[in-house]
Amino acid sequence: MNRFGTHQLSHSYFHVDAKADRCKQFMTITGSTFHPLLKQLVPLAIMECPSENKQFLSVFFSNLKEAIKEKFEDEEFDPTGIICDEASCNWQAMQEIFGRDLVERSKSCDFHYKQRINRTKGKITSGDDDKEIFKTWWNKRRAHWCYAFRPDHFAPGANLAEVTNARFFHRGSVNLSLIAAALDDVVDSLIFEKRYKKIGENIKVTGSGRTFFNIRETELKRISSPKSKTKYN
Protein backbone atom coordinates (compact mmCIF):
# COMPACT_ATOMS: atom_id res chain seq x y z
CA MET A 1 0.00 0.00 0.00
CA ASN A 2 1.74 3.08 -1.27
CA ARG A 3 -0.19 6.19 -2.27
CA PHE A 4 2.36 6.98 -4.99
CA GLY A 5 2.27 3.48 -6.47
CA THR A 6 0.23 1.89 -9.25
CA HIS A 7 -1.01 -1.13 -7.29
CA GLN A 8 -4.74 -1.76 -6.81
CA LEU A 9 -4.39 -0.75 -3.16
CA SER A 10 -2.47 2.48 -3.78
CA HIS A 11 -5.55 4.63 -3.03
CA SER A 12 -7.02 2.45 -0.29
CA TYR A 13 -7.21 3.34 3.38
CA PHE A 14 -5.82 1.05 6.06
CA HIS A 15 -8.34 0.25 8.82
CA VAL A 16 -7.00 -0.62 12.28
CA ASP A 17 -8.86 -1.88 15.33
CA ALA A 18 -8.43 -4.17 18.33
CA LYS A 19 -10.78 -6.91 19.49
CA ALA A 20 -10.99 -8.80 22.76
CA ASP A 21 -11.96 -12.46 23.23
CA ARG A 22 -10.74 -13.85 19.94
CA CYS A 23 -7.88 -15.51 21.81
CA LYS A 24 -7.82 -16.31 25.50
CA GLN A 25 -6.19 -13.50 27.49
CA PHE A 26 -5.12 -11.64 24.35
CA MET A 27 -6.21 -8.63 22.34
CA THR A 28 -6.29 -9.04 18.57
CA ILE A 29 -5.05 -6.05 16.56
CA THR A 30 -6.15 -6.16 12.93
CA GLY A 31 -5.23 -4.05 9.93
CA SER A 32 -7.51 -4.41 6.91
CA THR A 33 -8.25 -2.75 3.59
CA PHE A 34 -10.93 -2.96 0.93
CA HIS A 35 -9.60 -4.87 -2.08
CA PRO A 36 -11.18 -3.56 -5.31
CA LEU A 37 -10.79 -6.85 -7.21
CA LEU A 38 -11.92 -9.19 -4.45
CA LYS A 39 -14.66 -6.68 -3.58
CA GLN A 40 -14.32 -7.28 0.12
CA LEU A 41 -12.34 -6.28 3.16
CA VAL A 42 -9.05 -8.15 3.38
CA PRO A 43 -6.97 -8.37 6.58
CA LEU A 44 -3.36 -7.49 5.76
CA ALA A 45 -1.99 -7.88 9.28
CA ILE A 46 -3.20 -9.54 12.49
CA MET A 47 -1.34 -9.57 15.80
CA GLU A 48 -2.22 -11.09 19.15
CA CYS A 49 -0.91 -9.14 22.15
CA PRO A 50 -1.56 -8.82 25.90
CA SER A 51 -3.23 -5.41 25.64
CA GLU A 52 -4.02 -2.51 23.34
CA ASN A 53 -1.50 0.23 24.09
CA LYS A 54 1.13 2.35 22.39
CA GLN A 55 3.88 -0.23 22.91
CA PHE A 56 2.10 -3.07 21.15
CA LEU A 57 0.57 -0.89 18.45
CA SER A 58 4.06 0.40 17.67
CA VAL A 59 5.23 -3.20 17.35
CA PHE A 60 2.26 -3.92 15.08
CA PHE A 61 2.99 -0.98 12.77
CA SER A 62 6.73 -1.60 12.81
CA ASN A 63 6.41 -5.29 11.94
CA LEU A 64 3.95 -4.49 9.16
CA LYS A 65 6.29 -1.87 7.73
CA GLU A 66 9.26 -4.24 7.78
CA ALA A 67 7.28 -7.18 6.37
CA ILE A 68 6.06 -5.19 3.37
CA LYS A 69 9.53 -3.85 2.65
CA GLU A 70 10.98 -7.37 2.87
CA LYS A 71 8.30 -8.89 0.65
CA PHE A 72 8.21 -6.16 -1.99
CA GLU A 73 11.85 -5.06 -1.79
CA ASP A 74 11.88 -1.26 -1.97
CA GLU A 75 8.13 -0.83 -1.51
CA GLU A 76 7.26 1.37 1.47
CA PHE A 77 4.07 1.09 3.50
CA ASP A 78 2.70 4.57 2.89
CA PRO A 79 -1.10 4.38 2.55
CA THR A 80 -3.42 7.23 1.67
CA GLY A 81 -4.35 7.23 5.34
CA ILE A 82 -5.23 5.13 8.36
CA ILE A 83 -8.69 4.85 9.91
CA CYS A 84 -8.83 3.96 13.60
CA ASP A 85 -10.72 4.89 16.75
CA GLU A 86 -10.02 7.82 19.06
CA ALA A 87 -7.76 5.97 21.50
CA SER A 88 -4.63 8.07 21.94
CA CYS A 89 -2.37 5.00 21.74
CA ASN A 90 -3.31 4.60 18.06
CA TRP A 91 -2.15 8.08 17.15
CA GLN A 92 0.96 7.99 19.33
CA ALA A 93 2.11 4.69 17.82
CA MET A 94 1.32 5.91 14.31
CA GLN A 95 3.42 9.03 14.78
CA GLU A 96 6.29 7.10 16.35
CA ILE A 97 6.57 4.63 13.45
CA PHE A 98 5.41 6.64 10.43
CA GLY A 99 5.81 10.28 11.41
CA ARG A 100 3.50 13.27 11.56
CA ASP A 101 2.70 13.32 7.85
CA LEU A 102 0.72 10.07 7.95
CA VAL A 103 -1.03 11.15 11.15
CA GLU A 104 -2.24 14.29 9.36
CA ARG A 105 -3.63 12.15 6.52
CA SER A 106 -5.47 9.80 8.86
CA LYS A 107 -8.75 10.10 10.73
CA SER A 108 -11.00 8.39 13.21
CA CYS A 109 -14.39 7.00 12.27
CA ASP A 110 -17.37 9.33 12.69
CA PHE A 111 -19.06 7.12 15.29
CA HIS A 112 -16.07 6.97 17.64
CA TYR A 113 -15.51 10.70 17.21
CA LYS A 114 -19.05 11.41 18.42
CA GLN A 115 -18.54 9.03 21.34
CA ARG A 116 -15.41 10.92 22.31
CA ILE A 117 -17.24 14.26 22.12
CA ASN A 118 -19.84 13.07 24.62
CA ARG A 119 -17.14 11.85 27.00
CA THR A 120 -15.16 15.06 26.68
CA LYS A 121 -18.18 17.33 27.15
CA GLY A 122 -18.80 15.75 30.54
CA LYS A 123 -15.41 17.00 31.71
CA ILE A 124 -15.90 20.58 30.52
CA THR A 125 -17.11 23.27 32.92
CA SER A 126 -18.07 26.86 32.19
CA GLY A 127 -14.58 28.10 33.02
CA ASP A 128 -12.52 29.85 30.36
CA ASP A 129 -9.61 27.44 30.81
CA ASP A 130 -11.80 24.43 30.08
CA LYS A 131 -13.27 26.16 27.04
CA GLU A 132 -9.78 26.70 25.65
CA ILE A 133 -8.94 23.07 26.34
CA PHE A 134 -12.01 21.98 24.39
CA LYS A 135 -11.11 24.28 21.48
CA THR A 136 -7.63 22.77 21.37
CA TRP A 137 -9.12 19.27 21.55
CA TRP A 138 -11.51 20.02 18.68
CA ASN A 139 -8.86 21.72 16.56
CA LYS A 140 -6.64 18.64 16.69
CA ARG A 141 -9.53 16.50 15.43
CA ARG A 142 -11.12 18.84 12.89
CA ALA A 143 -10.07 16.59 10.00
CA HIS A 144 -11.79 13.62 11.65
CA TRP A 145 -15.28 14.86 10.95
CA CYS A 146 -15.32 18.08 8.88
CA TYR A 147 -14.99 17.60 5.12
CA ALA A 148 -13.48 21.05 4.70
CA PHE A 149 -10.41 19.99 6.68
CA ARG A 150 -10.00 16.43 5.43
CA PRO A 151 -6.83 15.83 3.41
CA ASP A 152 -8.82 13.42 1.22
CA HIS A 153 -12.53 14.06 0.66
CA PHE A 154 -13.04 10.35 -0.05
CA ALA A 155 -11.81 9.27 3.38
CA PRO A 156 -14.18 6.62 4.77
CA GLY A 157 -16.61 7.69 7.45
CA ALA A 158 -16.45 4.35 9.26
CA ASN A 159 -13.69 2.10 10.50
CA LEU A 160 -14.17 -1.00 8.36
CA ALA A 161 -11.92 -3.04 10.64
CA GLU A 162 -15.13 -3.68 12.55
CA VAL A 163 -16.11 -5.94 9.63
CA THR A 164 -13.03 -8.06 10.21
CA ASN A 165 -13.86 -8.27 13.92
CA ALA A 166 -17.44 -9.26 13.14
CA ARG A 167 -16.18 -12.00 10.84
CA PHE A 168 -14.26 -13.53 13.75
CA PHE A 169 -17.40 -13.59 15.87
CA HIS A 170 -19.80 -14.95 13.24
CA ARG A 171 -17.63 -17.93 12.41
CA GLY A 172 -17.17 -18.78 16.08
CA SER A 173 -13.59 -17.59 16.50
CA VAL A 174 -13.93 -16.91 20.22
CA ASN A 175 -11.48 -17.80 23.00
CA LEU A 176 -9.18 -19.61 20.60
CA SER A 177 -5.68 -20.76 21.37
CA LEU A 178 -2.90 -18.89 19.57
CA ILE A 179 -2.27 -21.93 17.37
CA ALA A 180 -5.92 -22.17 16.35
CA ALA A 181 -6.03 -18.44 15.57
CA ALA A 182 -2.87 -18.70 13.46
CA LEU A 183 -4.41 -21.63 11.57
CA ASP A 184 -7.53 -19.57 10.82
CA ASP A 185 -5.40 -16.71 9.51
CA VAL A 186 -3.34 -18.98 7.27
CA VAL A 187 -6.48 -20.56 5.82
CA ASP A 188 -7.94 -17.11 5.11
CA SER A 189 -4.73 -16.03 3.39
CA LEU A 190 -4.74 -19.10 1.16
CA ILE A 191 -8.38 -18.53 0.22
CA PHE A 192 -7.74 -14.87 -0.67
CA GLU A 193 -4.67 -15.86 -2.69
CA LYS A 194 -6.62 -18.52 -4.59
CA ARG A 195 -9.43 -16.10 -5.40
CA TYR A 196 -6.98 -13.45 -6.55
CA LYS A 197 -5.26 -15.89 -8.93
CA LYS A 198 -8.61 -17.02 -10.34
CA ILE A 199 -9.51 -13.41 -11.09
CA GLY A 200 -6.23 -13.13 -13.02
CA GLU A 201 -7.37 -16.14 -15.06
CA ASN A 202 -10.64 -14.32 -15.81
CA ILE A 203 -12.64 -16.72 -13.64
CA LYS A 204 -15.47 -15.13 -11.67
CA VAL A 205 -15.03 -15.76 -7.95
CA THR A 206 -16.88 -12.81 -6.42
CA GLY A 207 -20.43 -11.56 -6.46
CA SER A 208 -21.64 -8.24 -7.77
CA GLY A 209 -20.45 -6.35 -4.71
CA ARG A 210 -19.40 -2.73 -4.66
CA THR A 211 -16.30 -1.68 -6.51
CA PHE A 212 -13.76 0.88 -5.37
CA PHE A 213 -15.28 3.41 -7.77
CA ASN A 214 -18.82 2.71 -6.50
CA ILE A 215 -17.65 3.49 -2.99
CA ARG A 216 -16.04 6.76 -4.08
CA GLU A 217 -19.13 7.74 -6.05
CA THR A 218 -21.33 7.14 -2.99
CA GLU A 219 -18.99 9.17 -0.80
CA LEU A 220 -18.98 12.02 -3.32
CA LYS A 221 -22.79 12.12 -3.32
CA ARG A 222 -22.80 12.15 0.47
CA ILE A 223 -20.34 15.05 0.56
CA SER A 224 -22.29 17.02 -2.05
CA SER A 225 -25.72 16.63 -0.47
CA PRO A 226 -27.23 19.71 1.27
CA LYS A 227 -27.82 17.62 4.39
CA SER A 228 -24.14 16.73 4.56
CA LYS A 229 -23.07 20.36 4.17
CA THR A 230 -25.41 21.45 6.93
CA LYS A 231 -24.33 18.70 9.25
CA TYR A 232 -20.57 18.85 8.81
CA ASN A 233 -19.75 22.35 7.75
Domain extent, residue 78, equals 14-232
SS3 13: coil
Handedness of CA 167, 48, 39, 114 (dihedral sign): positive
Residues whose CB is less than 8 angstroms from the CB of residue 171 and which lie 6 or more positions away in sequence, other chains included:
none
When divided into structural domains, the chain yields a total of 1
Asked if residue 5 is part of any domain, the answer here is no
Mean model confidence pLDDT for the chain: 77
Residue 1 lies in a domain: no
Kindly report whether the global pTM for this prediction surpasses the value 0.85: no
Percent of the chain with pLDDT strictly greater than 90? 10
The pairing of strands 26-35 and 40-49 is antiparallel
The alpha carbon of 94 is separated from its chain's Cα centroid by a whole number of angstroms, namely 12
Domain presence at residue 2: no
Domain-embedded: residue 8:
no
For residue 25, being part of any structural domain is answered with yes
Statement: residue 200 has pLDDT above 60: yes
Task: List, for residues 52-78, the tens digit of each pLDDT value.
Answer: 899 999 999 999 888 888 887 767 888
pLDDT digit string, tens, across residues 12-47: 888 998 888 888 889 999 998 887 777 778 888 899
- In this structure, the number of other CB atoms found within 10 A of the CB of residue 71 comes to 8
Provide the angle, in degrees to the nearest 10, between the axes of the packed helices 88-98 and 54-71. 40
Q: Is residue 3 part of a domain?
A: no
User: Residue range 154-182: average pLDDT?
Assistant: 81
